[in-house]
Amino acid sequence: MLESEFKALRTGIRSGLDVTSSYSDAELIAYIENYLRREQALSDLTAGEKRRLVRRMYDSFRGLDLLQPLVDDRSVTEIMINSHEEIFIEREGKVEQVALAFESRDRLEDIIQTIVAGVNRVVNESSPIVDARLKDGSRVNIVLPPVALKGPTMTIRKFPEKPMTMQELVEREALSGEAAEFLKKLVASKYNIFVSGGTGSGKTTFLNALSQYIPSDERVITIEDSAELQIVTVPNLVSLETRNTNTEGRGEITVRDLIRSSLRMRPNRIVVGEVRGREALDMLQAMNTGHDGSLSTGHSNSTKDMVSRLETMVLSGADLPIQVVRQQISSAIDIFVHLARLRDRSRRVMEISEVTGLSQGEVIIQPLYVFEEAGEQEGRICGRLRRTDQQLQHTAKLRMAGYPEEEGGERYC
């Protein structure tokens, strides 16, 4: 069916709806079915084609129109709308264009406004960039013209219905069982852990898995730009989300504001979904003021690069000597976990490192586990997350939690 024909049908259905009535989902579907049954032009459609048309028509009123089947498809992990005529998806690590297009730019803009309204946010020409989320927790980034030259652009990052466990990550060979057990002890012992990696490397997924090791009797505050974390093992959980400015340019609540507020909420741990700027200083200060066991993530190409980026973030919001900033980092963060997406599209833990302190004014990073590549088999990268000869130096938290130090190594392909 041509988009123009679909648009004409939808217009006819909309004109027949009673605007003063509130239709349930079942009532709306029944009305659509009855309307389409009376259309002579649709008499040649098969039963299956009619069911799909009813569903798409329903989605155009209550869902995300032609995007809804992609959102419902669990094998699709990312939906990339470059313009109303150009849609790509990621499935099993592969990006491909789909033969779908919105009937017009206005229709895509309608969908975008529906999404942002659902999370009480605003996006327009004067404020053309916004982060939002869908009802199922999927993360949405929107960029409008004039910033987006090809038209309204939207990227939807989907997450599993249930957060992936560390055991599942081990089964997917993202890390070894030994390293997973090591991290379990570190989380339980309240080490401050920072997860770094590039875009799509699995930082949020890994943070969710780590959070499942937090003891259930603790109080946890999560802070995010757009709520994505799925912490299901902690009953005493408070989830906080930033807020953009309103149409008058007021009312903004930043990650920095939320971190400061969280300190007055009696948290045992603070989980910051991602640090991107000046809030890095507040996060480090929170870790340094008795909130051990805190977790966070950030974008970087390596552990060393993450340290440099944290320095830059802090300096962007505070006039501090670089030595003071480095002292903050070295005393706040205990462990860095660096993730990467390799050329075979697999996501692996590349390095687990300990921050051992400062030496000659530099933050010292000591690798405890390092991924060693060992060739390929049928396009799949083989290797192991090898335990280095270095031992964990700061073991006081482990001892207080009753854990001994561990050694060993495990290979997998």
Q: Copy the structure tokens of residue 77.
A: 């992990």
Reply yes or no on whether the pLDDT at 413 is more than 60: no
C-alpha span between 165 and 230 (Å, rounded) = 11
The pLDDT of 338-360, averaged and rounded, is: 94
For residue 2, the model assigns a pLDDT of 66
Residue 200 and residue 326 in one domain: yes
**Residue at a domain's end among 62, 86, 109:** 62
Residues 290 and 382 grouped into a single domain: yes
d(CA 354, CA 364): 8
Instruction: Give the pLDDT score at 291.
Output: 85
What integer best gives the mean pLDDT of the chain?
89
Distance CA 300, CA 302 (A): 6
Domain with 31 in it: 1-62
The confidence score (pLDDT) of residue 23 equals: 79
The arithmetic mean of pLDDT across residues 169-178, rounded, is 94
Contacts of 34 (CB under 8 A, 6+ apart): none
Domain boundary among 35, 62, 89: 62
Do residues 252 and 372 both lie within one domain? Answer: yes
How is residue 4 annotated by DSSP?
H
**Cβ(208)–Cβ(239) below 8 Å:** no
Domain end call among 133, 158, 183: 158
Q: CA of 131: how far to CAs of 26, 78, 116, in Å?
A: 32, 15, 8
pLDDT of residue 19: 62
Q: What is the CATH number of the domain that holds 122?
A: 3.30.450.370
Looking at the structure, do residues 196 and 55 belong to the same domain, yes or no?
Answer: no
Instruction: Name 374's Cβ contacts closer than 8 Å, sequence gap at least 6.
Output: 382, 383, 384, 411, 413
Indicate whether 101 and 131 sit together in one domain. Answer: yes
How many domains does the chain fold into? 3
The pLDDT value given to residue 410: 47
361: domain CATH number is 3.40.50.300
Q: In what order do the strands lie in the sheet with 76-83?
A: 94-97, 86-91, 76-83, 153-157, 139-143, 129-133
Give the pLDDT score at 311: 95
User: Exposed/middle/buried for 218, CB within 10 Å: 0-12, 13-18, 19+?
Assistant: middle
- Tell me the longest C-alpha to C-alpha distance in the chain: 82
Helix axes 303-317, 322-332, angle to 10 degrees: 120
Contacts of 390 (CB under 8 A, 6+ apart): 354, 366, 367, 368
Tell whether 79 and 12 lie within a shared domain. Answer: no
Are 82 and 57 within one domain?
no
Any residues with CB less than 8 A from the CB of 228 and at least 6 apart, and which? 133, 137, 139, 159, 204, 273
Q: Is the pLDDT of residue 384 over 50?
A: yes
Rounded Cα–Cα distance for residues 90 and 297 (Å):
23
Beta strands in 139-288 (DSSP E): 139-143, 153-157, 193-197, 220-224, 237-241, 269-272
Count of beta carbons in the 10 Å neighbourhood of residue 342? 15
The predicted pLDDT at position 46 comes to 85
Find the angle CA(345)-CA(346)-CA(348) to the nearest 5 degrees: 135
Work out the end-to-end distance of the chain between its first and last CA atoms, rounded to an integer number of angstroms. 48
User: 198 pLDDT exceeds 90?
Assistant: yes
User: What 3-state class would DSSP assign to 381?
Assistant: strand
Lowest mean pLDDT, pick from 49-58, 229-238, 300-309: 49-58
Same domain, 274 and 204: yes
Q: What pLDDT does residue 409 have?
A: 43
Per-residue confidence band for 227, with pLDDT thresholds at 50, 70 and 90: confident
pLDDT digits (tens, 9 = 90+) for 204-213: 999 999 999 9
* pLDDT exceeds 90 at position 193: yes
Instruction: Give the pLDDT mean for 153-172.
Output: 90
Q: Is the pLDDT of residue 299 over 60?
A: yes
Question: 248-279: buried (b, 16+ CB within 10 Å) or exposed (e) per residue?
Answer: eeeeeebbbbbbeebbeeebbbbbbbbbeebb
Asked if 383 and 291 sit in the same domain, the reply is yes
Q: Which two tokens stand for residue 140?
A: 């949405």
Specify the residue for token string 């909309």. Answer: 14
- Give start and end residues of each alpha helix (H) in 196-290: 203-211, 255-262, 279-287
Q: Which tops the pLDDT comparison, 404 or 209?
A: 209
Global pTM value: 0.80
Indicate whether 269 and 295 sit together in one domain. Answer: yes
pLDDT over threshold 50, residue 332: yes
Q: Which of 5-19, 220-234, 303-317 has the highest mean pLDDT?
A: 303-317
How many percent of the chain have pLDDT more than 70? Answer: 95
What is the structure's pLDDT at 247? 67
**Hey, what's the torsion of the CAs at 171, 337, 339, 176, to 10 degrees?**
-20
The pLDDT value given to residue 405: 54
The pLDDT value given to residue 408: 41
Q: In 254-384, which ranges are continuous DSSP H helix?
A: 255-262, 279-287, 303-317, 322-332
Residue in the structure block whose two tokens are 């875009």: 199
The stretch 64-81 carries a mean pLDDT of 90
Single-letter amino acid code for the residue at 143: V
Q: In what order do the strands lie in the sheet with 380-387?
A: 237-241, 220-224, 269-272, 295-299, 193-197, 335-341, 347-359, 362-377, 380-387, 410-412
Which pLDDT band, with edges at 50, 70 and 90, does 122 fall under? Answer: confident
pLDDT of residue 363: 95
pLDDT score of 262: 92
The Cα–Cα gap between 5 and 110 comes to 19
Average pLDDT score over residue span 86-95: 91
Same domain for 194 and 112:
no
| Same structural domain, 213 and 260 | yes
